[in-house]
Structure 1
Amino acid sequence: MDITPQAVVLPKETDLLEQGKYGPVFPKTPACYGFTIIADVKPGRAEAIRNYGHTLAKALEADPRLLAPLKLHYLRWVLFDDDTRFMYQAIFDTDFDKYTEDAIALFTAAGVNTAFENLEGFPEDWKTNPEAFVRFVREHHCPSFIEYGEYPYVTADEIKKALRVKSALSEMLDQLQ
């Protein structure tokens, strides 16, 4: 496996990209798949978003595998412009369509809401209307134009496996001493 760092420049025009169920399928990059959305926060709802972050963190303490179906590498939430705007950034191993469908299914099955409900224009019927959910995300998506990967095209599962192997080897070497 070649793990030479790589970068890919993404096209500005998406008309020529393969079309998925909900629109253009952005190509897998050395950083895998991902998206960034920026949206306006409903007036007075920034604290609710922060509280939801705490709720999510506690849920992950109780069940570290809670978000596993999303195949996330990382997730970043940012409130900015005096808490009037919100950025959601995720890098994951599946394409956009699968990620959004999995997110809807995960939150619906868990009976939880999403921080997105605190954003202007987010559809109230998102749990039963995946098209509206996806339309909101696509309308607020700010595509990157270059993506870099220090360990390109490696999945989160491959990284976790490598870390388990490393741990097992370290433990074995410790026992030999």
Structure 2
Amino acid sequence: MEIKPQAAVIPKDTAQFEQGKYGPVFPKTPACYGFTIVARVKPGRADAMREYGYALAKALDGDPHLLAPLKLHYLRWVLFDDDTRFMYQGIFDTDFDKYTEDAVALFGKAGVNTAFENLEGFPEDWRTNPDAFVRFVREHHCPSFIEYGEYPYVTADEIKKALRIKNALSEMLDQLQ
């Protein structure tokens, strides 16, 4: 079976989308699910955002599967406009509602804060009020209008499985030589 790259255009009008618990459920695209938020950084908190990034990287060194419940493909964090604004991009395998609920539960279970606490307007009660967390994300969401996938609709688990098979095959071939 040949996998052909695909693109999907996402309409600006989301009224036609199914309504989930937290608003419109954006369709799965060839790039899977995801969202981008752009928000203002609280004055003087850009270094705290960077430190949070370092802490997250260190935590992942200790437990590479820490974020596994989120079914992530990629995360990208960007500080821009002289560190006054922040962009969060995430690509993942679940819809927005599940990703958000899993993220709140994961941070709550791990007893850690979120970098988003350094953003203007982020709710202080986010741990106990997932609705407020979601409202913040929805208010700062900048939806894509086109998404492309070189290997469309493939989940992170499928990619990891294919890589395990590739590695096992490589090891087997190495042993035959």
TM-score (ref. length: structure 2): 0.99
Q: Which residue pairs with 1:171 in the alignment? A: 171
Match of residue 64 from structure 2:
64
In the alignment, which residue of structure 2 is the partner of 1:50?
50
Counterpart position of 2:111 = 111
- Match of 1:143, SS state, is coil
Alignment root-mean-square deviation, CA: 0.6
Distance in 2 separating the partners of 1:2 and 1:116: 41
Q: Deviations over 1:48-102 (max 9, x none)?
A: 0000000000000000000000000000000000000000000000000000000
Counterpart of 2:3 in 1: which secondary structure?
Answer: coil
Partner of 1:37: 37
Q: How many residues end up aligned between the 2 structures?
A: 177
Alpha-carbon distance in structure 1 between the residues aligned to 2:93 and 2:19: 18
Identity %: 85
1-structure distance, mates of 2:2, 2:165: 18
Q: Which runs of 5+ in 2 are unaligned?
A: none
Shift of 1:127: 0.4
Name the counterpart of 2:139.
139
CA shift for structure 1 position 3: 1.4
Question: How far apart in 2 are the matches of 1:169 and 1:84?
Answer: 48
1:161 aligned partner? 161
Structure 1 distance, partners of 2:123, 2:2, is: 43
Q: CA deviation at 1:174?
A: 0.5
Please say if 1:83 is aligned against 2:83. yes
- Determine helix, strand or coil for the equivalent of 1:43: coil
The aligned residue for residue 95 of structure 1 is 95
In structure 2, C-alpha distance between the alignment counterparts of 1:3 and 1:152, rounded to whole Å: 8
Cross-structure match for 1:123: 123
Tell me how far 1:2 sits from its aligned partner: 4.5
Gaps of 5+ in 1: none
**SS of equivalent to 1:75:** strand
Which residue does the alignment assign to 2:152?
Answer: 152
Secondary structure of 1:7's match? strand
Letter paired with 1:141: H
What's the TM-score, normalizing by structure 1? 0.99
* CA distance in 2 between partners of 1:16 and 1:4 (Å): 27
Which residue identity does 1:40 align to in structure 2? R
Matches of 2:30 and 2:104, distance apart in 1: 26
1:110-146 per-position Cα deviation (integer Å, ceiling 9, x unaligned): 0000000000000000000000000000000000000
CA–CA separation in structure 2 for the residues paired with 1:146 and 1:30: 10
